[in-house]
Structure 1
Amino acid sequence: MARIFNNLAKLGVGLAVTGGVLQSALYNVDGGQRAVIFDRFRGVQDEVVGEGTHFLIPWAQKPIIYDIRSKPRNVPVVTGSKDLQNVNITLRILFRPQVPALPKIFTNLGIDYDERVLPSITQEVLKAVVAQFDASDLITQREIVSTKVSEELTERALQFGIVLDDISLTHLTFGREFTDAVEAKQVAQQEAERARYIVEKAEQQKKAAVISAEGDSKAAELLAKAFGAAGEGLVELRKLEAAEDIAYQMSRSRNVAYLPQGQQTLLSLPQ
């Protein structure tokens, strides 16, 4: 009985050891990940391991897992423009490693490759591009600046095995002195526009007054000619028109009374 017990104990120990060895010989690569194998005898292997469960030699080999999905990163940079103005720029980058280049990335840069590469190359490219533009051009030609930064930074990152899926300028500000100068210029432009509007308005009013005076002068001239040509007849016509207007106004008044023609009143009796 004791012998059987000892055999079972040895069997259990053997199974536990075997299970531990098997467990240490397996590793998983999840979706969106890749693995690089480091061998203690042969160094970093050139083959990149894809998703799934894989075998390795315990103790002799070690898997290094990389996330190959795009990740965002904001890189702030302070640089100078062509006209020596301070510019604060924040660049938003979506990046991921090149899968075939993962062994080289691990050998040269390690796991935190983005911390070692992206800030330095971003500052290098941004300073080179921004120095080609004046501060005002950075505002009016922002799309051109963004395109140049994207092209040069993408090419620079590929040298390190990094793919940039998207690059955008999310923040662009200038020093206090330049900002104050821009605000003062805008105020001056608005004042100039207001002054020009006042001058144009006065000019139009002047033209209107001249046209009105010319019209009055022409009307007076025509009336003078009409009086000279029509003589007494036109004067009588104007009297009749005036009398008609006076009669109409008096007819609308409550304080005016009318008597039949020829009827005498107390005011007309002899004293």
Structure 2
Amino acid sequence: MAQFLTRIGQLGLGMAIAGGVVNSALYNVDGGHRAVIFDRFSGIKKEVVGEGTHFYVPWVQRPVLFDIRARPRNVPVITGSKDLQNVNITLRVLFRPVPDELPKIYTTLGVDYDERVLPSITNEVLKAVVAQFDAGELITQRELVSQKVSDELNERAGQFGLILDDISITHLTFGREFTQAVELKQVAQQEAERARFLVEKAEQQKRAAIISAEGDSQAATLLAKSFGDAGEGLVELRRIEAAEDIAYQLAKSRNVVYLPTGQSTLLNLPASS
């Protein structure tokens, strides 16, 4: 019985040891990750290990995990424009490695490949592209600048086994002297617009005065012409109208008597006592 129990214990110990060995020979590759295997005798294997649980030889082999999901990175660069203005520009890139290129990336760059590649190639491309435009064009042709940066940066990143899913300029400023010059120019433009408005207002007022004077002159001319055309007839009409008014006023007075003769005779009689 004791011998049997000893054998059971030895078997259990053996199974525990075997389980520990098997467990130590397993590794997991999570979703969105890939692994490359480093072998002490043959170096980095060319095969890329996908997601799931896998075996490796302890001590002889070592799995190296990589995140292949897209990740953002901001790269600030200070460079010069075509007209020698200082430009502070920040580029945001969304990058990920090409899964099949992971053995080469690990061999040549290591796990921190993004730290080694992105700042250098971004700095290089931005300096080359920004130098083709002056400060004003960098603002007015920003879409063209972004397109040129994107094309050249994608080409450079592809040489290192990287994919850039998105490239955008998030920050673009100029030196203090240029900024002050732009502000002074804007103020001068506003003052010029205000002066132009005042000049146009004065011109409109002048035109209005001229038109009003011309209207008054034309009205006076037409009135004088009408008097000239009417001649003595108009004067006689005005005389008759005045006589009628006088007669009407005298008719209302009790001290005035009309005598019907061949011609109307007007006598002023003294008032009765």
Same fold per TM (> 0.5)?
Answer: yes
Query: Structure 1 unaligned runs (5+)?
Result: 241-260
For 1:191, the aligned partner's letter is: E
Q: Would the alpha carbon gap of residues 233 and 67 (structure 1) be closer, same or farther in structure 2, given more than 3 Å must change?
A: farther
Q: Deviations over 1:155-191 (max 9, x none)?
A: 0011100100000000111111111100000010111
Mapped pair 1:11 → 2:20: no
Matched, 1:104 2:104: yes
140-149 vs 207-216, greater mean Cα deviation = 207-216
1:262 is displaced (CA, Å) by: 4.0
Name the residue aligned to 1:148: 148
Q: 1:178 maps to what in 2?
A: 178
User: How is 1:67-216 mapped onto 2 (pairs within 5 angstroms)?
Assistant: 67-216=67-216
Secondary structure in structure 1 of the residue aligned to 2:100: coil
Following superposition, the deviation at residue 9 of structure 1 comes to 2.0
Q: CA deviation at 1:263?
A: 8.0
Unaligned segments of structure 2, at least 5 residues: 242-250, 255-270
Q: After TM superposition, give the deviation of residue 23 of structure 1 in Å.
A: 0.8
TM-score normalised over the length of structure 1:
0.85
Give the TM-score normalised by structure 2: 0.85
Counterpart Cα distance in 2 of 1:12 and 1:179: 79
Question: What residue identity is the alignment partner of 1:17?
Answer: I
Query: Number of residue pairs matched?
Result: 246
Partners in 2 of 1:52 and 1:181 — Cα distance? Answer: 61
- State the distance in 2 between where 1:234 and 1:29 align: 118
* Partner SS, residue 133 of structure 2: coil
1:195-215 Cα offsets, whole Å, 9 max, x none, are 111112211221222222111
User: Could you tell me how far 1:102 is from its partner in structure 2?
Assistant: 0.4
| 2:53 alignment counterpart | 53
More moved, 92-101 vs 25-34: 25-34
Q: Over alpha carbons, which structure has the higher Rg?
A: 2
Deviations 1:228-266 (A, max 9, x none): 1224665767x98xxxxxxxxxxxxxxxxxxxx8488xx
Question: 1:233, 1:150 → 2: CA distance?
Answer: 95
| Alpha-carbon distance between aligned partners in 2 of 1:117 and 1:221, rounded to the nearest angstrom | 90
What is the CA–CA distance in structure 2 between the aligned matches of 1:234 and 1:161, rounded to whole Å?
Answer: 108
For 1:13, the aligned partner's letter is L
Q: 1:197 to 1:11 in 2, by over 3 A?
A: same
Letter of the 2:76 counterpart:
P
Residues 130-162 of structure 1 show CA distances to partners (whole Å, capped at 9, x for unaligned) of 111111111111111111101101100111001
Distance 1:30 1:77 in 2: 35
- The one-letter code matched in structure 1 to 2:145 is V
- Letter of the aligned partner of 1:95 in structure 2? F
Residues 209 and 102 of structure 1: is their aligned pair in 2 closer, same or farther, counting only changes over 3 Å?
same
The alignment partner of 2:99 has SS state of coil
Q: 1:7 to 1:194 in 2, by over 3 A?
A: same
C-alpha distance in 1, partners of 2:132/2:233? 87
Report the Cα distance in structure 2 between the residues aligned to 1:234 and 1:169, rounded to whole angstroms: 88
Partners of 2:234 and 2:60 lie apart in 1 by: 129
Tell me, what secondary structure is at the counterpart of 1:157?
helix
